[in-house]
Structure 1
Amino acid sequence: MRSSPLTEIELKLEISPADLEKIALSSFLGQPAATRELHSVYFDTGDCRLFDNGFTLRIRRSGEKTIQTVKATGSNASLFARSEWETPARTNTPVFDYNSPLLNRFGPIERDLVVQFEVVTNRRIWNLTEGTSSIEVAADAGIVMAGDRQAPFHEIELELKGGDPRQLFALARKINAIVPVKIGVQSKSERGYRLLSAMRNAAKAEAIGLEPRLTADEGFRMIALSCFRQFRLNETLLLQMGHAGSLHQARVAIRRLRSALSLFKPLLDENAKRFSDEFRWLANTLGDARNLDVLLLKAADGELWEKLETARKGSYAKIVEALASDRSRALMLDFNEWLLCGDYAKHPDGEKPVEDFAAKALDRMRKKLKKHGRDLAEIDDEHRHEARKDAKKLRYAAEFFAPLFADKRGLRRYKNFNKAMEALQDRLGALNDLAIGHDVLKQYGIEETPEAQKLIFHADKKQLIEKAQTALDDVLDAKKFWR
């Protein structure tokens, strides 16, 4: 029983149940070439050791055919590429041969494996030609089951069987013109693990794990795709639950992404500016609601709270409209095509080691913060806000690149540097809330009430500036972990 490594190039599209039926029954796809019911059982150790190390193990039954599959995250951390090892299965119990990556990685762990969750999928398949490319289209309607928990899903998977990856996006745009779709970032196994742990909280940034062997171009793509994944996970929760934490983390994801575009600007083609501008539009759309969320946390129950809550509901309605818009959906497709197909990589320096690029970029960001934050007491709120943005960019850059400098000295210096950066962001954030609070209340015509004044004059501005300056000086005094 010999395992065979495969590499899939695919694009996953999330879609509503009604729209899935609409596109599946449309003349655009025609009659499906095949219809299947898939029953997948996912195994892991009791402490989910496989998943925590980037592997999944399933046994899938489809008709008379049963296949055991091990999947691993793609080496370039792409949303669209991953490695697979498939073997025929005679029973519903996992069996490893000497080629199995799990046996090589974890040793003989078969006895430690238990069923974690199951996935039942009704799949319809079409084989299409787009340009010169062959693409398999799979429309999936299914349910994930973990104990007494269940969660339905509906998605379309476009798998490139041969040809140009750009044609995946050409086909996706044609589908998007018929029914609205969003790029999916969760595999079925991830859905199962999230259901298993009842993960309904906002998704924070995941570790990226850059390695010195990577080029600067490869490093950028890993970072950008990680930021995009964080955004999409939170967008889904935001639309489902209207949760303030998901809104906040969606904005964080966009800020991290725009910071990456700024950091790597010298290496990127002219489309980088367009994408940065479009993501800024999206961030601004989310901004009003986030500002209202911050004020609501401070407001006491009463008339002011009710006015703020009414304004918040209006802002969230605008967010839903923006995220569903043609502009937003087109942005996501265009941006991911740019990344997946390598169109961003135009500069010869992109082939140089990411470690060399990182050190220079961090020097540049630190120098910019030093320039704009030289004397916070002598500049106005607008310029202090610029210093705050510089601080965020430097912190995000440090988080992106820290794994490249992970020797003993680098780790020690990064810990001290990051601690100083956290303090600086807290101080500058308090100043920003003070500056923005009045503008937000004025925007909704409620700034003159006594209750409103208490919200925005809760702190000594001069004292906050002094603390921010001290924190900024601490950052500049911290030893560079990248040198």
Structure 2
Amino acid sequence: MATETELKLELSADAVDTLLGSGLLGSPISVDPLTSIYFDTPDRQAWEGGYSLRIRTVGEAHVQTVKAAGPNRAIFARSEWETPLTGNTPVIDYTTPLRSELDIEDGTLVRQFSTLVKRHRWNVDQDGSQIEVALDMGSIVAGDREMQIRELELELKDGKPYTLFTLARRIEALVPIRFGVASKAERGYRLLREQQTAYKAEPVHLDRDLRVSASFQVIAEACFRQFRLNESIVINRPNPSALHQARVALRRLRSAFSLYKVILVDAESQRLKEELKWLAGVLGEARNIDVLIARVGNSDVKSRLLEARDSAYEQVLNALFSSRAKAFMLDLNEWLHCGEYLALVETAEIRNGPVVDFAIDILDRQRKKLKKRGRSLVEADDEHRHETRKAAKKFRYASEFLRSLFSSKQAERRYEKFIQTMEKLQDELGLLNDMVTAPTVIHNLELESHPDVESLMVAGNSEKLITAAQSSLDELMERKRFWRG
């Protein structure tokens, strides 16, 4: 088994031409056609089990590669197993997890899809580190479906991880780049299914022997991946579901920063938090209009809202394509893996401590905070209930991030009951919040005097909702804690 440390960057067709003509990387050491065939069982047992298997052909050489694809699809580093073959028939033995973990045998594998690319390859010396750069141009083919590929992979062969980002910045100064978070295998499996319109948060898996800092990296990568998958949809066409999920991803990442604030005391952590707040705010403006549009029928006010949404989505695209956002994406990922927070003396004891104890403390503190804020929702004002809603959301995110650390049957049963009650509470607090915020959004859009404005208001009995939310919150506090035995 080897560990692959790499950055994957997505390029436009124009960017590829510019990069190849720039001489930035020098002359390629090779330009080869690559054909890769991906195999799995008919019910896709390998992929569902967290692995991909391909056989790549270069000239007359065949290499089988098994890669870890889950449950956390790593952006920066992942495990892989390579085996030379004499042909395009998979060989599965106990040297790979397909046999040792999933009990998959040779004869059960069938072809799923293939990739056909031309690969330019360079060896680059960046500040003493050896980096292999590979530019792939071609397509993924699954039956009668096809997807174009234009991606640049920077793989660290020897040296310091930060040099990958140094090289990425040199490239970004020449052509626009975006971080790739989906492997060729994932995109191939996606081709086999109907195209998704949005990507919800995937389960986060944390090993119990992780250090606290490593657990934060896993969580932050998962949030960034969700954002990038949905951003890729949003920049191609207006899509309310994808925009909502991109905003959710940023909100989850902001919560992760807050939950781990005891180890994030460096100046860069604080700056990145402000950048997250800025970007989430831009997406929030468009999201507010999407929510209003969902409430109205085919009336004149809908036309006004659609015009406002077009303007809001234009602002979203301006932000996503801005130099500020692009710099933020590079800064965030470099800081996450190479930042000062990973070496501060004052946080070393906590940062290098056991994640389970840290998780228990986080969940206890979030529960206590929600209990304190929600003691008397009936007597509280709107602002206080809004703060209770935010505390509930943060508690839920913490629970979703950390639940895999508590995997006994008892913990699973408790978690299911906990999350059902939490979802009910969030729905009730969310509807109350919509009742309060709708007039502000309507005012900002200058629609107060519109004859159809009533259709934009949230219907419901606020007193009954407050009582129901209080009941759900009290029920949540009575639930046994899934993170404690």
Q: Does TM, normalized by the shorter one, top 0.5?
A: yes
What CA deviation, in whole Å up to 9, does each residue of 1:413-434 have, x standing for no partner? 2112111110110001101111
The answer (yes or no) to whether the contact 1:24–1:139 under 8 Å persists in 2 is no
Q: Distance in 1 between matches of 2:241 and 2:71?
A: 31
Q: What's 1:446 paired with? A: 447
Q: Secondary structure at the match of 1:59?
A: strand
- In the alignment, what sits opposite 1:102? 98
Residues 419-474 of structure 1, C-alpha deviation per residue, up to 9 Å, x if partnerless? Answer: 11101100011011111211111111112223212321522222222222222222
- State whether residues 76 and 218 of structure 1, in contact with CA within 8 Å, keep that contact through their aligned partners in structure 2: no
Cα 1:75–1:295, aligned 2, differ >3 Å: closer, same or farther? Answer: closer
Task: Name the SS of the counterpart of 1:458 in structure 2.
Answer: coil
Q: Which residue of structure 2 aligns with residue 464 of structure 1?
A: 465
CA contact (8 A) 2:30 2:121 kept: yes
- What pairs up with 1:212-231 in 2 under 5 angstroms? 212-231=208-227
Counterpart code for 2:420: K
Match in the other structure for 1:52: 48
Distance (Å, rounded) in 1 between the aligned partners of 2:458 and 2:35? 59
* Counterpart residue type for residue 449 of structure 2: E
2:10 touches 2:179 (CA, 8 Å); kept in 1? yes
Structure-2 residue corresponding to 1:25: 21
When residues 448 and 375 of structure 1 are mapped into structure 2, their CA distance, relative to the original with a 3 A threshold, is farther
How far residue 177 of structure 1 moved from its aligned partner, in angstroms, is: 1.1
Instruction: Report the Cα distance in structure 1 between the residues aligned to 2:72 and 2:294, rounded to whole angstroms.
Output: 40
What letter corresponds to residue 330 of structure 1 in structure 2? A
| Alignment partners' CA distance in 1, 2:456 and 2:97 | 57
1:4-55 CA-to-partner distances (Å, cap 9, x unmatched) read x222111011111111111121032232221111111000011110011111
Q: Normalising to structure 1: TM-score of the pair?
A: 0.96
Unaligned 5+ residue runs, structure 2? none
Q: 2:207 aligned with 1:211, yes or no?
A: yes
C-alpha offsets along residues 274-308 of structure 1, whole Å, 9 cap, x if unaligned?
Answer: 22211111110100111111111111112100000
Partner of 1:298: 295
* Whole-Å separation in 2 of the counterparts to 1:15 and 1:193: 21
Q: Which residue of 1 aligns with 2:334?
A: 337
Report the alpha carbon displacement of residue 176 of structure 1 after superposing the two structures with TM.
Answer: 0.8
Equivalent residues of 1:61, 1:67 under 8 A apart: yes
The percent of aligned pairs where both chains have the same amino acid is 48
Change (3 A) 1:26 1:68: same
Contact 1:74 / 1:82 at 8 angstroms: preserved in 2?
no
Q: Establish whether residue 253 from structure 1 lines up as the match of residue 254 from structure 2.
A: no
Q: 1:408 to 1:102 in 2, by over 3 A?
A: closer
Q: 1:7 to 1:211 in 2, by over 3 A?
A: closer
Contact in 1 for aligned 2:435/2:458 (Cα 8 Å): yes
Distance 1:397 1:163 in 2: 35
Specify the code of the residue in structure 2 equivalent to 1:292: I
Determine the C-alpha separation between the residues in 1 that align with 2:73 and 2:148: 26
**2:355 equivalent to 1:354:** yes
**Alignment counterpart, residue 235 of structure 1, candidates 223, 228, 231:** 231
**How big is the shift at 1:272?**
2.2
Q: Tell me how large the CA RMSD over aligned residues is.
A: 1.6
Q: How does 1:140-289 map to 2 (within 5 A)?
A: 140-270=136-266, 271-289=268-286
Distance 1:209 1:160, change over 3 A: same
TM-score (norm 2): 0.95
Contact preservation (8 Å) 2:140, 2:146: yes
Query: In the alignment, what sits opposite 1:138?
Result: 134
Cα offset for 1:381?
2.2
Number of residue pairs the alignment of both structures matches: 479
How far does residue 76 in structure 1 lie from its aligned partner after superposition?
8.0
The change in CA–CA distance for 1:411 and 1:457 in structure 2 (over 3 A counts) is closer
In structure 2, the CA distance between the partners of 1:108 and 1:478, relative to structure 1 (3 Å rule), is closer
